[in-house]
Every structure is written in structure tokens, then in C-alpha cells.
Structure 1
Amino acid sequence: MPDGTTTPVRLFPGPESAPVVVIVPGLGIPAAFYDRFAKSLVEHGFCAATCELRGQGDSRPRPSASSTFGYQELVSVDLPAMFEVVRERFDESTPYLLGHSIGGQLGVMYAARIRGRLGGLILVASGSPYYRGFPGARSPGMLLGSTAISVTASAAAFWPGDRLDVGGFGPQSRVTISDWSRFARSGRIEPAGADIDYEDRIARLKLPVLSISIEGDDLAPRSSSTNLLSKLSGSDVTTWHQPEQLGHSGWIRTPDSTVERIATWIRDRQ
């Protein structure tokens, strides 16, 4: 990256010119955790690639008090660079972006920036963190919790997720945490340093979207997914609820039924 950050892209070749599913992880989840899922995609006749969020997994350096990147840098600098690697390797393949959790939020933003250069968006266990999208007592808890996390990150100059294991985020830039917290409080995607109106661009995006919610997922319940999808008012949205009790991340290591649903959806669009 321009600032010297090194971020690997893991490539999983499948049949020549087959669609390539590019996986963008959730916070605190290294790209290697998705290897089994990527290999299952290859077994179903696709190519796959996994991106590494800046400072996670094998990306260096780790977030620290000097880190100033947030949602804006991740979607305007990092994802374009990683997709360039994917397009160089799979130059005849149509890319589909699969975003998990915050990776889905970033995927929606990236798609809005580049418009028509994706075959579609796949959102798995991904929703808006807006507190009103969480049921019962979880709603005020999300509001208070997101505020407290943001205040802590600002005071420490970064989110010390290696010492405070709240949400499983891992160490993160204070700007990323501030962007997430603002989204959780307001329900709007308005990252620091934004160079476009993301809400407007996302509403005007016309793209096939598959949203998969997961039974037992307390971090991205169906109401949270619905809130994120409401922003994609111009897109062709398909929803599916994974009935297996796999929670927020269990589907990654028990991939077959989820991959089968994704494979069917992509093939229906070819």
C-alpha cells in the first residue's frame, strides 16, 4: 500500500474463466480462517480469493497509536489494490465480492464506488450495526457499547483488542472504530474523510445482491441485515436464511450448505 503496509491476497484457482468469489473478512478474523470456505467454492466450480483487512492476520504493521486508516481508506485504497491482484490472476473471471460482517459493509461501499465492475455482492452474516436494528435489550446495549468502544479507542489512540477482547475485533485503528461506532449510533455510512456521499451512491447502485443471514447469529441478526439491505434500494436483492445453528462465524468452517446456495445464485445469473 502507499503507506508501506503489506497486505497479502490468498488465491485459490478453479476452472479457467470461472467466476471468482473474493472474500472480505470481518473485524478480527484473519484471511486464513476462510481457507476451508474458499476451497469449498473451488470444489463447486469457482475460483476464490481472500483479502486481508489492513493490520489483521498476515498484514503488517499491526494497528497502533500511529494508525489513522478507517472505512474510507479500506474501500478507496486497500480493496482496489487487492482486486487488482485478483484481476491480474483471474483476468477472464467475473468477480463477486463476498463480505462477512464488517466486510459486507465495506463491500457495499466498494461496490458503490466502482459501480458496474462486479458480477454481484454476497453478504453473509453482515448487517448494519445501527442500534435500532437489534431486538429487545440488545438495542440500548449496542448504543452504549459502541459509544464506550469509540471513547476507549480515542483515549488509547487505537483499539487495544489484544488486551480488551470486546466483540472479538482484535487491535484496530481508532478511525475504523470511530467509523463503526458512528454507523451504529446514526445508522448512516458516513466515514471520516469520505470523498463521496456513500448513502446516495449505495441507493443508486444497481447490482445483484445475495444476503445470507445465519441462525444463531447475535452479532448480525436478520433485523440488522434488513437495515443494511434497505440502503440498496436500487439493487436486485435475494435473501436466504441459513437454518443451521452456525452463528456469526460457524458457517465458515461448516461451509457446504452455504456454498451450495451461493453457487446456485451465481449460476442463475450467468
Structure 2
Amino acid sequence: MNQPLTTQAPSVAQPFREEAADGFSLGGFTWRHGAADPTRAVVIINAATSVRCRFYSRFADYLFAHGADVITYDYRGIGESRPAALRGFQASWSDWGRLDFEAMLQRARREFPGQPIDVVGHSFGGCALGLAASAASIRRVVTVGAQFAYWRDYAPGSRWQLLCKWHLAMPLLTRVFGYFPGKRLGWMEDTPAGVVRDWVTPAATYEQRPSGRTLGALGFGQVQASILAISLTDDPFGTVPAIERLLGYFTASACTHLRIAAQQVDAKGVGHFAFFHSRFQAQLWPIALGWLRSAQLPAQVPGQVIEPQA
């Protein structure tokens, strides 16, 4: 499985701090063209679980160069939003959506008044957008490999390896350290224990995850954005059942699932992470850009549109 690459600090972006509704201070970066313009979109990038927002800086540069304002940020416990200590730190997947992503929606509305709000969600970042109270304000969405890690949806050829790594080793190490020490293992960023509990729970629905059970009614149905879900055939997490399982929650949205094979973009592999590597700027990034601009796929798009499962 491809892993995130380390990226440098954004070159043209400005750092910011934003308080969530519970007072927690979140860190991120803004790419801003100037005065608010109702013809220009602001794009919020929701990261994958325990991937730093800096990983998406080159993709944000690309969107900025093509006319969008961009916001990237780290969920609480990660990167720019990491507290002094993670042992005992309280954070969950639902906190990342209902508090942290909601804070970014509020920031976008305040800092870019009148501009349409679009979202790019990677992995769990696509799930987070359905947990925010203001999600009805989103115009268009592109997700990449977006799902919430139900183990039976993992690719059959990788399922047992992923189970051992993420559903056995990760919770055991989390119990020992009080958080998951992913950074020292080279797997991902260090991760709060509550997020680990949500990830490893073997439940087929989000509302059966530990933090999902405390939410009451989920807010996915309020999202009315046009959604393009991109998946890659060599992504062991983003299988067709996994992508469709999440899309099934967005009952008020028009959803298109585009599935792409690496060979269709002249690559040996793309996997779960490499869509956001700059080597795919020419082949893959224009697909996302085009959807954010028009909610349409280009005529010569690689891949196959997957019809919704019955």
C-alpha cells in the first residue's frame, strides 16, 4: 500500500488558527487570491485519517493556480492541531467531522463571504463532510478512496494483512501507549485513541462505531452537493463495496462513482495515497478540477463509471 510522502510547508499559503465550537484550536493553511469573489470557489481539503494537511499542499497549489481559494487543516490530534501530549487526549472520528470540519465550513463562510464552498475529501475525509451541521452549504464534492474502513470491504488479496496491521497491531499498541504511535513506525501520524477505536470497530455502519453511537441522527442526508467519488482499482481500502457503502449515506446528493485503473493513467500503481502525488498532476488532478468547476466529467476521462449497487 502506498504511504503519504513528506511534503514541505506550503509556499504561498498563510498559516491560521481556528477555534472549533468546543474551544479547541485547529491549525491549517489558506491559499487566498484576494478580496472575496462570488464567482470563485473556496475549496476545503479534508485529509485522510492521521495524514497531515501538508501532504495535500501541492494539490492545493494546483487548485489555487487554477483559480480557487483553498483551505487545508489538520484534525485535532494531528500535525498543526496536535496537543502537547496525546496520551489521554480525547478525539474521535465524529469530533473530526462535527467539530473540526464544521469549524472550517464556518471559517470559509466568514473569510470568503458569498463564495461557493467545495470540498475534496480523502479517505475518512469524505465521511467527515456528512457529519458537519453546515454541510448543506457545500456546493460540490470530490472524494478519493472515501470510506470508513469496514474490514469486510477490504480488497480480498490484502484483507488479512490489513486486519493484522490495523485491527490487531494498531489497537494493541494504542492500549500500551495511550495513543497509536504511528509516526515512529512510519505508518502514519500518531493518532488519538478515540480515533483508533472508531477505525477498528468491526461494524458495517457508521452509527455502530463508538463515536457514531453518540451522535443520534447522522447528518449525511442534508448534503445536497454533487459528489464525484474517485476510486482506484489497486486501493485495498477503496473497493467498490467500500465506496458504495459510504455513498449510500448521501441520500440527497447526486453521486457519480468513477473507478480508475493505474494502467489507464500509465502508472504502475496509485493505491490509497498517490492520487495526491504531483506526478499525477497531468492525468488525475484535472478530473477533480473539472468536477469542482462544472460537476461534469471530461469527455475523455480514464476509468469507468460504476452504477449504484442494488
For the 8 Å contact 1:40–1:256, the answer to whether it is kept is: no
- Aligned counterpart, 2:3: none
1:248 lines up with 2:269 in the alignment: no
**Structure 1 pair 162/35, CA: closer, same or farther in 2 (3 Å)?**
closer
**Structure 1 pair 252/63, CA: closer, same or farther in 2 (3 Å)?**
farther
- Counterpart of 1:213, as a letter, is S
1:226 lines up with 2:282 in the alignment: no
1:157 lines up with 2:183 in the alignment: no
Amino-acid identity (%): 21
Give CA deviations for 1:209-253 in whole Å, capped at 9, x if unaligned: 110113532332344222222333442101223443322222212
Counterpart Cα distance in 1 of 2:77 and 2:165: 23
The CA deviation at 1:269 is 4.5
- Aligned counterpart, 1:171: 190
- Aligned counterpart, 2:11: none
For the 8 Å contact 1:62–1:171, the answer to whether it is kept is: no
Of 281, 294, 302, which aligns to 1:268? 294
Judging by fraction of residues, say which structure has more helix: 1
Runs of 4+ in structure 1 off by over 6 angstroms are none
Of 111, 124, 138, which aligns to 1:102? 124
TM-score of the pair, normalised by structure 2:
0.74
For the 8 Å contact 2:130–2:223, the answer to whether it is kept is: no
- Aligned counterpart, 2:199: 180
The CA deviation at 1:100 is 0.8
- Counterpart of 1:260, as a letter, is P
Of 108, 119, 123, which aligns to 2:143? 123
The CA deviation at 1:197 is 2.6
**Structure 1 pair 241/84, CA: closer, same or farther in 2 (3 Å)?**
same
Counterpart Cα distance in 2 of 1:76 and 1:126: 17
1:1-270 paired onto structure 2 within 5 Å: 1=19, 5-14=24-33, 16-17=37-38, 18-61=40-83, 64-110=86-132, 113-148=133-168, 149-165=170-186, 168-182=187-201, 185-190=202-207, 191-192=210-211, 194-198=214-218, 201-203=219-221, 205-242=223-260, 243-244=264-265, 245-254=269-278, 255-269=281-295
**Residue ranges of structure 2 left out of the alignment (5+ in a row):** 1-18, 297-310
Structure 1 residues 71-80 or 226-235, which shifts more?
A: 226-235
Give CA deviations for 1:56-90 in whole Å, capped at 9, x if unaligned: 22223155212111122222222222222222221
**Structure 1 pair 28/4, CA: closer, same or farther in 2 (3 Å)?**
same
Counterpart Cα distance in 1 of 2:118 and 2:70: 9
Question: What is the DSSP-based 3-state SS (H/G/I as helix, E as strand, rest coil) of the residue aligned with 1:186?
Answer: coil
Counterpart Cα distance in 2 of 1:147 and 1:252: 26
- Counterpart of 1:91, as a letter, is P
Counterpart Cα distance in 1 of 2:85 and 2:284: 32
The CA deviation at 1:107 is 2.0
TM-score of the pair, normalised by structure 1:
0.84
For the 8 Å contact 1:6–1:60, the answer to whether it is kept is: no
For the 8 Å contact 1:63–1:172, the answer to whether it is kept is: no
What is the number of residues matched between the two proteins?
262
**Residue ranges of structure 1 left out of the alignment (5+ in a row):** none
Counterpart Cα distance in 1 of 2:94 and 2:214: 6
